């Protein structure tokens, strides 16, 4: 069963029952549910004070100060032009500036070409994001595509002082869901 509607209390109880060291909240776009996220993380913190909380977001919606204080790491992945998302919505300057101001935010750009790396560099420069806080990841839903894109992307990352992140889950599992 891929999706099940749970209350905040039920979701927190299910996560806490796993006795994990950390949790990654991802989506869809989790920031659409900011108030429920705040409540969920507060319950997780109450039940497991040392639990590491990470959140993956597209960066189009800024977190409240209260929510930001509850998250150990934000992985912000703004959508570039090749994604097909409307840039006016995907690249919300105010939201990106809010994430850029957070020490616990790291930026990951999914790239098809070195030109996408240049677009990522322009966004990082616009928001004064240090290169050490930026990773580039090759876009692709197959190992073949990822491997084909990785060499040029690695060169572009090196030129900008960024790191490169592979897509190990694709290499291992392909497009399987629910793993």
pLDDT of residue 27: 84
Neighbour tally for 140: CB within 10 Å: 17
Residues in CB range of 147: below 8 A, 6 or more apart: none
Residues of the chain with pLDDT under 50: none
Query: What does the pLDDT read at residue 1?
Result: 60
Rounded to two decimals, the pTM is 0.92
Residue indicated by tokens 């639990």: 51
Give the model confidence (pLDDT) of 52-104 as tens digits. 999 999 999 999 999 999 999 999 999 998 888 888 888 999 999 999 999 99
Please name the helix (run of DSSP H) or strand (run of DSSP E) that holds residue 100, with its range, or none. helix 93-100
- Whether the CB-CB separation of 136 and 118 falls below 8 Å is answered with no
């Amino acid at each position: 069963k891929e999706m099940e509607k749970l209350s905040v209390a039920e979701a927190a109880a299910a996560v806490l029952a796993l006795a994990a060291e950390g949790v990654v909240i991802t989506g869809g776009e989790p920031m659409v549910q900011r108030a429920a996220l705040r409540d969920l993380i507060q319950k997780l913190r109450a039940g497991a004070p040392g639990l590491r909380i990470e959140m993956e977001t597209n960066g189009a919606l800024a977190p409240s100060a209260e929510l930001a204080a509850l998250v150990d790491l934000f992985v912000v992945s703004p959508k570039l032009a090749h994604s097909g998302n409307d840039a006016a919505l995907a690249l919300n300057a105010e939201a990106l500036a809010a994430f850029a101001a957070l020490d616990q935010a790291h930026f990951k750009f999914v790239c098809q070409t070195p030109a996408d790396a240049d677009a990522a560099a322009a966004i990082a420069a616009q928001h004064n994001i240090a290169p050490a806080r930026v990773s580039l990841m090759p876009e692709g839903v197959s190992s073949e595509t990822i491997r084909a894109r990785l060499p040029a992307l690695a060169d572009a990352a090196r030129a900008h002082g960024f790191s490169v992140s592979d897509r190990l889950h694709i290499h291992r599992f392909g497009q399987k869901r629910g793993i």
